[in-house]
Amino acid sequence: MRLLVIGGTRFVGRHLVEAALAAGAEVTLFHRGSGGCTLFPEVRHVHGDRDGGLSALGDGSWDAVVDTCGYVPRLVRASAEFLAGRAGHYTFISTISVYSPFTPGLDEISPVAALDDPTTEEVTGETYGGLKVLCEQAAEAAMPGRVLQVRPGIIVGPHDPTDRFTYWVRRIPMGGRVLVPSPPDRPIQFVHAADLGAWVVRMALAGKTGVYNATGPDTPHTMEALVRTCRDVGGGNAEFVWVDEPFLVREGVGFWRELPLCIEAADRGVFMARVGKALDDGLELRPMVQTVRETLAWDAKREPGTQLAAGLKADREAELLERWTAGESGG
């Protein structure tokens, strides 16, 4: 199989390329080459910016393409149109955030977001889901009947630049009082990047098309299960302090960034998606304990003093815990 990966040198793309090589694929990577990438010296690297087109690829052809980094419909459309006569299959990595509203039980035919201004190319928290919807539509319009639309939830594991999962994996073994948003049964879904990458490669090899939610498990994890697993794997004497959501909102705590993997109640359905279709088509999800163990081991190998990109700072957490405790005691 000849596989073209647009992106492929960071996080999801990195895991995907590893899976493709393990499957015996002949891989071409199209990326900007601006990060001094030394990964995958055995594959063909083509440097270019998709905003200027994919002409650097020349007249090459591929059995399948995986687009890991499409955010703007204009660029996805141009890429898919350029490749329509050169590739048999196109996988677009979209997002679970395409849905609107985030009601529990989201499946592949649930309503999706629509932008007030469909011409915008500014990617923000408000436009991200709607832009991805338009990207999906652009790919399908360029290669009708030949597109696989993958809608992952939160992607976790080694090499994750967001640190949304890594925050909990690192913080809990540090011990002491750990602020955790209640309720303990708060739902959480995620997919390990390696599981996602391996499944996408298998789906592309099989020529599968259509829309798939790619997260899990089908019955969500809970926040309590996550933090307890982090303590079991990482050790330490962490004491979990379950703090009410109204208090956190009053204190201006940033759900998602300061409290990664935590979403306010109104949007919690994004972590309650149906994933039976993907599971029936071979998506395999490793146990949470394995994901925590692998992420912890990777984090330990990073440069000493590496600051996390997400999560509460130590002084902020201590201040919030003090306020919460004082409020509980009537102080």
* pLDDT tens column, 300-315: 999 999 999 999 999 9
Share of the chain above pLDDT 90, in %: 93
pLDDT at residue 331 in the model: 52
Location of structure tokens 């926040």: 223
In order, the DSSP letters of 223-253 are HHHHHHHHHHHH-S--EEEEE-HHHHHHTT-
* Average pLDDT value for residue range 138-154: 98
pLDDT at residue 44 in the model: 95
pLDDT at 327 over 90: no
pLDDT in tens, 69-104: 999 999 999 999 999 999 999 999 999 999 999 999
Q: Are 224 and 185 in contact (CB under 8 A)?
A: yes
* Average pLDDT value for residue range 200-219: 97
pLDDT at residue 34 in the model: 72
* Average pLDDT value for residue range 41-60: 93
**Amino acid present at 231:** R
Domain with CATH 3.40.50.720 in the chain: 2-158+189-214
pLDDT at residue 191 in the model: 98
pLDDT at residue 35 in the model: 61
> Taking the C-alpha atoms of 321, 255, 190 and 19 in order, what is their torsion angle to the nearest 10 degrees?
-110
| CA dist list (Å): 25 to 7, 10, 47 | 16, 19, 20
pLDDT at residue 329 in the model: 54
Residue 247 or 33, more confident: 247
* Average pLDDT value for residue range 44-62: 93
Q: Are 68 and 8 in contact (CB under 8 A)?
A: yes
* Average pLDDT value for residue range 117-133: 96
* Average pLDDT value for residue range 146-173: 97
- Domain 2-158+189-214 = CATH 3.40.50.720: yes
pLDDT at residue 330 in the model: 59
Q: pTM score, two decimals?
A: 0.96
In order, the DSSP letters of 102-139 are --TT--TTS-B---SSTT-----TTTHHHHHHHHHHHH
pLDDT at residue 326 in the model: 92
* Average pLDDT value for residue range 223-235: 98
pLDDT at 36 over 80: no
pLDDT in tens, 250-303: 999 999 899 999 998 889 999 999 999 999 999 999 999 999 999 999 999 999
pLDDT at residue 37 in the model: 77
How much helix, strand and coil, in percent to the nearest 5, is found in the chain?
A: 40, 20, 45
* Average pLDDT value for residue range 130-145: 98
Predicted confidence band of residue 124 (pLDDT cuts 50, 70, 90): very high
